[in-house]
Amino acid sequence: MRFASLGSGSDGNGLVVEAAGTCVLIDCGFGVKDTVWRLGRLGLEPSSISAILVTHEHGDHISGVPAFAARYEIPVWATFGTLAEVSIRFEEMTQVYAFDSHDHFAIGALEIMPFAVPHDAREPVQFVVSDGAVRLGVLTDTGCPTPHIAQSLSGVNALVLECNHDLDMLMNGPYPAQLKRRIAGRLGHLSNDASAELVRAMDCSRLQHVIAAHLSEKNNTPELARAALAGALNCAPDWIGIATQEDGFAWREIS
Ligand SMILES: [Zn+2]
Ligand SMILES: [Zn+2]
- Confidence band, pLDDT 50/70/90 cuts, at residue 171: very high
For position 50, what pLDDT does the model report?
98
Spell 58-89 as b/e; 16+ CB within 10 A means b: bebbbbbbbbbbbebebbbbbbebbbebbeee
As a whole number of angstroms, the distance between CA 69 and CA 32 comes to 9
Are the CB atoms for 207 and 232 separated by under 8 Å? no
Q: How far is the CA of 126 from the centre of ligand 2 (A)?
A: 11
**C-alpha distance across the termini of the chain, in Å:** 7
For position 89, what pLDDT does the model report?
76
Q: How far is the CA of 58 from the centre of ligand 2 (A)?
A: 5
**What is the phi/psi pair of residue 223, to 5°?**
-65, -45
Are the CB atoms for 145 and 190 separated by under 8 Å? yes
For position 90, what pLDDT does the model report?
77
Q: How far is the CA of 9 from the centre of ligand 1 (A)?
A: 6
Q: How far is the CA of 251 from the centre of ligand 2 (A)?
A: 24
Q: How far is the CA of 142 from the centre of ligand 2 (A)?
A: 8
- Confidence band, pLDDT 50/70/90 cuts, at residue 94: confident
Greatest extent of the chain over all pairs of C-alpha atoms, in Å: 49
Length of the chain: 255
Q: How far is the CA of 120 from the centre of ligand 2 (A)?
A: 7
Q: Which ligand is nearest to the CA of 143?
A: 2
Average pLDDT over the chain reads 97
**What is the phi/psi pair of residue 209, to 5°?**
-145, 135
CA 14 to chain centre: 7
Q: Which ligand is nearest to the CA of 9?
A: 1
As a whole number of angstroms, the distance between CA 143 and CA 75 comes to 29
As a whole number of angstroms, the distance between CA 122 and CA 97 comes to 17
Q: How far is the CA of 56 from the centre of ligand 2 (A)?
A: 7
The partner residues of 97 in beta bridges, in order of sequence, read 77
pLDDT digits (tens, 9 = 90+) for 120-142: 999 999 999 999 999 999 999 99
- Confidence band, pLDDT 50/70/90 cuts, at residue 251: very high
Q: How far is the CA of 136 from the centre of ligand 1 (A)?
A: 19
pLDDT digits (tens, 9 = 90+) for 194-242: 999 999 999 999 999 999 999 999 999 999 999 999 999 999 999 999 9
Range 53-61 average pLDDT: 98
Q: How far is the CA of 119 from the centre of ligand 2 (A)?
A: 7
Enter the DSSP assignment of 248. Answer: B
